[in-house]
Structure 1
Amino acid sequence: MRYKLVVTDLDGTLLDDKKNVSEANLEAIKRIRDLGILFTVATGRGERAARQFLELLEIDIPAILFNGGEIFEREKGPVYSKYLPKPIYNLVIDHFIENEIGIVAFYHDRIFIADFKPAHEIYLSREKVKYEKVDDLKKIDVVNKVILVGDVSYSIRKMKELEKKTGININYVQSERFYLEVLPDGVSKGEGLRQLCDILGIERQSVVAIGDNMNDLSMIKIAGLGVAVANAEESVKNAAKLVVPSNNEDGVAHLLNKLAKGEI
């Protein structure tokens, strides 16, 4: 069989708009596994927010978390992690702390919020995860990433201001409508997929990757078969070799069933 591994994004791709995995998707995942094709996820979620889906999907090989910043085994924990440099982290906190953007910081399975703002409700209502309230985010020494929650266009403008002011290039990417994620330098889902392929001993041309948002673009470009769901951003669909039905129409199942039948 031409393809040996399928990697899917979660939010907006495998998950429907209610954050559920359909029976059709679950059945299709079982079908390709029975054929010997490996299956895992690549998500911007961290360990806490991803775990329920890793367990539901019975992910038995490493998953890509934190948009490529971590390779994670469900039973063993992280096998690779990259962290946001403290000077960059402090610059971002200082630059955004006084405006209406909600700042959420992550360290493995811990989530931190300080100076609670209305924008934080967007994150908490969507992700439904527990967090730790802290007095000062800058007292956290090590983080995997930061999410800026709220008006992404505004956040991007502010990030460009910060880069111009400091002369420092900062790695950031939009992952959802209200999320701009600040990541360690060089981290992306595409680089996470390279790491995963090395761990599994699989050529990238044997990988199918499917996603919907800008943080999926890098892995869609480097996979042997890059796929977008119909609800994906236009630039993601333009980069994909195949577009399948939307996340609310079992697009992943559509892809996997074609794969199982040898039609792709």
Structure 2
Amino acid sequence: MYKLIAIDMDGTLLNDRHEVPEDVKHTLDEAKRQGIKIVLCSSRPIGGMRNYIKALNLDEEGDFVIAYNGSLVQDTHTNEVVAELSLGHDDLEKLYDLSVELKSPMHFFDAKGVYTPNADISEYTVLEAYLCNIPLGYRQVSDIPTNISIPKIMFIDNPDNLQRTIQALPEELNEQYTIVQSSPYFLEFVHPSASKGNAVKKLAEQLGIKQEEIMSFGDNGNDLSMIQYAGCGVAMGNAIPEIKEAADFQTLTNNESGVAYAIKKLALDPLNTEVK
């Protein structure tokens, strides 16, 4: 029996209109009623997840969320931080200098919002602020307090340019950061020990849940670590090839309520399922 289901949001839980399909809502309610912990696990900041957490009743006692690609694990009922891994001002300076060298726009986060040091603000930074419903500010790196705690730094660009940036990254960066591509136009840098898989592992160990009792859902590169870690990794029908190859099961697409389909098929006890 599965006791914890970790679910990516964009491209997985949400359809292409950024909505949770009704079938998925009902299925998550049923899974929770049967005692399964539902944990949203996203690259988004907490602010970009709150409306969905509330709508899905995932802010009750004993509920948790994983944000910033595993940099933050938080109790959604008490807002207590369970685990946190952050970058600092030195990382910001280093990655900003690299972004200038590679001619790649960038932005970064703190607990309050998203900021860009680029006076010509990228449309992808605007998109990030819109999707996450968080404030957007323009800040020069030299104006940022040296004690800043940064959960995530991102390079953003159109897919072709971003691929050229990725190919030009110095190899040593892979030892200094966890680097994942969460969409065709988002490349994310987090603490080297931070990943969705590590965050799911840490939360499960705290809750006394075994690896084989975990199911995870994802569609993109930043989901790979939790797909590989979970007892059952589920790839969305719209997932990239690397996720499909690593998964134990492939479900329908995010526009076909693929999360609901897999949970019903693999995790729910039909004898204890209430008739809707």
Q: TM-score, normalised by structure 1?
A: 0.89
Shift of 1:134: 2.3
When structure 1 is superposed on structure 2, of 62-71 and 152-161 the one drifting more is 152-161
Provide, for residues 61-118 of structure 1, a one-character-per-residue CA deviation record: whole Å limited to 9, x for no partner: 2111111111012233222111114322211111214766332211224222232234
When structure 1 is superposed on structure 2, of 168-177 and 68-77 the one drifting more is 168-177
> Share of identical aligned residues, percent?
25
Structure 1 distance, partners of 2:177, 2:168, is 11
Q: Is the 8 A contact 2:126 2:136 kept in 1?
A: no
Q: Does 1:47 align with 2:46?
A: yes
Q: Report what 1:238 is aligned to.
A: 245
Q: Is the 8 A contact 1:69 1:192 kept in 2?
A: yes
Shift of 1:36: 1.3
Q: Report what 2:151 is aligned to.
A: 144
Shift of 1:238: 0.8
Provide, for residues 32-56 of structure 1, a one-character-per-residue CA deviation record: whole Å limited to 9, x for no partner: 1111111111110111111111111
Q: CA RMSD in A?
A: 2.4
Structure 1 distance, partners of 2:104, 2:141, is 16
Structure 1 distance, partners of 2:14, 2:4, is 19
Q: Report what 2:222 is aligned to.
A: 215
Alignment-mate amino acid for residue 14 of structure 1: L
Q: Does 1:134 align with 2:142?
A: no
Q: Is the 8 A contact 1:208 1:223 kept in 2?
A: yes
Residues 215/262 of structure 1: CA separation in 2 closer, same or farther (3 Å cut)? farther
Q: TM-score, normalised by structure 2?
A: 0.86
SS at structure 1 position matched to 2:20 = coil
Q: Is the 8 A contact 1:28 1:256 kept in 2?
A: yes
Structure 2 distance, partners of 1:113, 1:168, is 25
Structure 2 distance, partners of 1:219, 1:29, is 19
Q: Is the 8 A contact 2:93 2:141 kept in 1?
A: no
Q: Does 1:73 align with 2:80?
A: no
Q: Report what 1:229 is aligned to.
A: 236
Shift of 1:152: 4.9
Q: Is the 8 A contact 2:178 2:195 kept in 1?
A: no
When structure 1 is superposed on structure 2, of 59-68 and 4-13 the one drifting more is 59-68
Structure 1 distance, partners of 2:167, 2:91, is 14
Q: Report what 1:260 is aligned to.
A: 268
Shift of 1:156: 5.5
SS at structure 2 position matched to 1:163 = coil
Provide, for residues 178-218 of structure 1, a one-character-per-residue CA deviation record: whole Å limited to 9, x for no partner: 11001111211111111111221111110010110000011
Structure 1 distance, partners of 2:31, 2:253, is 20
Aligned residues: 262
Q: Report what 2:274 is aligned to.
A: none
Q: Does 1:64 align with 2:66?
A: yes
Q: Does 1:192 align with 2:199?
A: yes
Residues 225/131 of structure 1: CA separation in 2 closer, same or farther (3 Å cut)? same
Residues 89/157 of structure 1: CA separation in 2 closer, same or farther (3 Å cut)? farther
Provide, for residues 136-194 of structure 1, a one-character-per-residue CA deviation record: whole Å limited to 9, x for no partner: 37614221111221135644544564525889643210011211001111211111111
Structure 2 distance, partners of 1:150, 1:98, is 14
Q: Is the 8 A contact 2:70 2:197 kept in 1?
A: yes
Q: Is the 8 A contact 2:113 2:134 kept in 1?
A: no
Residues 153/183 of structure 1: CA separation in 2 closer, same or farther (3 Å cut)? farther
Aligned mate of 1:83, from 86, 101, 123: 86
Structure-to-structure mapping, 1:29-44, within 5 angstroms = 29-44=28-43
